[in-house]
Amino acid sequence: MASKMHPETAVIHAGHLQEPQGALVSPLYQSATFVFDRVETGSARFAGEQDGPIYTRLGNPTVAEFERRMAELEGYDGAVAFASGMAAVSAVLLGLLDQGDHLICNTCLYGCTHSLVSEQLPRFGIEVTAVDFSDVEAIRAAIRPNTRMLLLETPVNPHLAVYDLKTVAKLAGAHQLISVVDNTFMTPLLQQPKVQGIDIVLHSATKYLNGHGDVIAGVVCADQVHLELLRSRSLKDIGGVLSPHDAWLILRGMKTLALRMERHSASAQVVAEFLQRHPAVTRVYYPGLDGHPGKALIGTQMRAGGGVLALELNADFEQAVAFVNRLSLFKIAVSLGDAESLVQHPASMTHATYDNDDRAKAGIADTLIRLSIGLEHCDDLLADLTQGLAPLTASLAEEVS
């Protein structure tokens, strides 16, 4: 198409090449290697003088279609797909940072990202400072002569803090730093960090992009200045390659991404408002709620609040765990973005890699519960939450009486 497509159209059509046999659905190139008609052809491809596949670790037509689609959706020159979301995070950090460099990241990150930056990067001589990205002056104060990169999530996993990307991008640009945003929670349908000036966007494609809970994958979107290093250092040499079959499943899942994100977001808003009124809940974290700092960015940075929310209970650790165990429709599982609604307890699951001090700094309380709202009918979700909260409600009523 000559004109730029709307995102709802691009998730279906972007990056698709004309298939010689006329198949509507892109074929799955489930092949490890590709045949050359002559030695000279192989030589030309290895030298970069001729386009065409060589070996799936270096590129595959099915994976390449997923990469093209993501690049267009996020607005970057290109994208590189990886075997997991953490492979995508590692690709950016290990591919673009050198020994002696300094990284500034947010105090709260996904648990495995936290482990990577706090435990693994120092092994390679990369220094890391964690600050609260809601405090621009704290970020500025942490910048050193060897600072190379700013890394953050927004909304943050698991408590949905939201940061102003335009401000972060401006600060990064003023100090010649690479700005990197994990956009997993929002997807390109609800937030496009490139529009705000962010240099690199990454996703766990396991989540909303695939949307069906049957793939592990990651993707990094960037402009040409960073793409070559990501593809050569991180993909070719480290080898966290996405399989063609998984790329094909993601492409299939993405065809319904716009519809799914609309439903996830609308239902999450209803659930968040219900929980906000509940006597057993002390706090609800969701950008779509009045009073949440992120609400001001909906309509400018974000199109909606997304499908994930968190709550803190008027309870202790054991009561919080018991509440999770009582839920029936919500399945106890890490991950998010599936058709099924999921529930997890961050302090003992996804963010258990944090020590107590770091968890307190990150704002992850013992009674914090994260919900990923699926595609079920809202009435059924509310009924399950009501029965799960009932013993807490009764206990609080007894205390009052």
Strands 102-106 and 127-131: parallel
The helix/strand count (H/E) of the chain reads as 14, 12
Q: Give every strand in the sheet of 127-131, ordered side by side.
A: 78-82, 218-222, 200-204, 178-182, 147-153, 102-106, 127-131
Amino acid found at 131: V
Closest CA to 66 of 219, 264, 171, 258: 219
Provide the 8-state DSSP code for 256: T
What six digits make up the tokens of 195? 């529009």
Q: What angle do CA 199, 203, 204 make, to 5 degrees?
A: 160
Strands 342-344 and 368-372: antiparallel
Q: Is the dihedral of CA 353, 355, 360, 362 positive or negative?
A: negative
Residues marked as catalytic: 57, 110, 182, 207
Contact 212, 342 (CB under 8 A): no
Q: Give every strand in the sheet of 308-313, ordered side by side.
A: 281-285, 308-313, 368-372, 342-344, 331-332
Mark 340-377 as b/e (b = at least 16 C-beta within 10 Å).
Answer: ebbbbbbbeebbebbeeebbeebebbbbbbbbbbbbbe
Closest CA to 53 of 184, 203, 244, 270: 244
In the block, residue with structure tokens 């996993």: 157
Alpha-helix runs per DSSP H in 106-181: 111-115, 136-142, 165-174
What is the rounded distance in angstroms from the CA atom of residue 218 to the CA atom of residue 238? 15
Closest CA to 79 of 228, 188, 219, 246: 219
